[in-house]
Amino acid sequence: MSGILDGKRILVTGVLMESSIAFHTAKVAQEQGAEVILTAFPRPTLTERIAKKLPKPAKVIELDVTNQEHLDRLAGLVRDELGSLDGVVHSIGFAPQDALGGNFLNTPFESVSTAMHVSAFSLKSLAMACKPLMSEGGSIVGLTFDAQFAWPQYDWMGPAKAALEATSRYLARDLGPDGIRCNLISAGPLGSMAAKSIPGFDGLADVWNTRAPLAWDMKDPEPAGRGVVALLSDFFPRTTGEIIHVDSGVHMMGA
């Protein structure tokens, strides 16, 4: 049987660990027939080692989404490897330590600015860097953590994710005429490198132990990866500006 991404060429950012959503997105995408190229920062060699665990080889390109030179050269490097793109996965987020862990009221603007640039504005930067490769349209998919709520310990990453969600909607509006969809997956908490950088993360994750209608496994990123792959496919041809929850139902639970 053919896969739902047969013939698709997909760029995936943020593969840092085998436990990451980005890694499982790349894995499922390959299993579903896609050609995949990866970007990495700040340690491309680490991503190259992790990439060896994918079903098929995948080229790794160094990309700092805050570096305009890196963004300007991206399309040429990807074109040399794949020719064009049908999908882009934004799995990038960062906040300095003083922007997390209960320090919300004392975080300086410089740290907030960094969180916003890397975690939200970068979606626009990545989309525009890849747009020349998507002349036939395609799908951009990012990852959020439900920004409707103020989560314990999450602090300025919450507003950064809210900015990411708004950015996705505006990209959906402005790229729609070019046939490019932009959607987000809102995943539950996972034991990724990003999660481990949040002080007190285990307390946040405990919410899922008591409120999830479906059992949630913090050690299993594949459901979120499958959600990303579904949005990359042609099975959502008229869906854009949407946030799909892969969180075992916590988002719709009351008290």
53, 124, 154, 170: the catalytic one is: 154
With 90 as the cut, is the pLDDT of residue 71 above it? yes
Alpha helix (H) residue ranges in 63-118: 68-82, 109-116
86, 37 contact by CB (below 8 A): no
Q: Which residues sit opposite 46 in a β-bridge? A: none
Per-residue pLDDT band for 2 (boundaries 50, 70, 90) equals confident
Instruction: State the Cα angle at 254 between 250 and 255, rounded to 5°.
Output: 110
221, 20 contact by CB (below 8 A): yes
Instruction: Give dist(CA 241, CA 141) in Å, integer.
Output: 10
Instruction: Give dist(CA 148, CA 161) in Å, integer.
Output: 9
- pLDDT digit string (tens) for 179-204? 999 999 999 998 765 666 666 667 76
Q: Which residues sit opposite 245 in a β-bridge? A: 186
With b meaning 16 or more CB within 10 Å and e meaning fewer, what string describes 91-116? bbbbbbeebbbebbeebeeebbebbb
161, 170, 196, 219: the catalytic one is: 161
- pLDDT digit string (tens) for 74-125? 999 999 999 999 999 999 999 999 999 999 999 999 999 999 999 999 999 9
**Half-sphere exposure of residue 119: CA atoms within 13 angstroms, side-chain side:** 27
**Half-sphere exposure of residue 103: CA atoms within 13 angstroms, side-chain side:** 17
Per-residue pLDDT band for 142 (boundaries 50, 70, 90) equals very high
Locate tokens 């600015």: which residue? Answer: 113
Residue 154 designated active-site: yes
Nearest by Cα to 13 from 38, 35, 34, 36: 38
Q: What is the pLDDT of residue 246?
A: 98
Q: What is the pLDDT of residue 42?
A: 87
Q: What is the pLDDT of residue 94?
A: 95
Q: What is the pLDDT of residue 144?
A: 97
- pLDDT digit string (tens) for 150-180? 988 899 999 999 999 999 999 999 999 999 9
Nearest by Cα to 103 from 56, 152, 137, 138: 152
For 20, 35, 40, 189, 230, the CA distances from 218, given in Å and listed in that order, are 11, 28, 24, 6, 21
**Half-sphere exposure of residue 203: CA atoms within 13 angstroms, side-chain side:** 9
36, 54 contact by CB (below 8 A): yes
- pLDDT digit string (tens) for 204-247? 677 888 899 999 998 999 999 999 999 999 999 999 999 999 99
Rounded to two decimals, the pTM is: 0.95
Residue 53 designated active-site: no
